[in-house]
Amino acid sequence: MTAEVLAFLGGEPGKIALFEAYEATVLACGESTRKVTKTQISWGNPYLFAMLSHPRRAADRKAGALLATIGLNRRLDSPRILQAVEPYPGRWTHHLLLSRPEEADGQLRAWLAEAYQFAQAKQRRS
């Protein structure tokens, strides 16, 4: 884990565990690059398909949760999705709250794999 990632997570053990579980799930999708900024950690291949950020709600931040964002070509219908927006036709951005490492489960893995493939397809069209 880099110093940038530790700084982003504030060195909090709970957030570190969430990050490690999420990143392991992301990396299982295939080769990608990670970028750390002040507001988010993102993975791309080269187009972004997965992100982590701090939740906007203070209660969620205090609870040590992280906000996962996944880009897909369709809208997911799941109670785990906090918000889904279509910023432009055929591109859906989904936000879900991660509060326990176990939430990086098979369902999330499948969504991330789909997002990875969607980003790969965008690259081939470019």
Backbone angles phi, psi at 39, to 5 degrees: -105, -15
pTM for this model (two decimals): 0.91
Q: What is the pLDDT of residues 5-46, one digit of tens each?
A: 999 999 999 999 999 999 999 999 999 999 999 999 999 998
Distances (CA, A) of 32 to 20, 23, 36, 58: 15, 11, 13, 31
Residue 90: CB partners within 8 Å, gap ≥ 6? 73
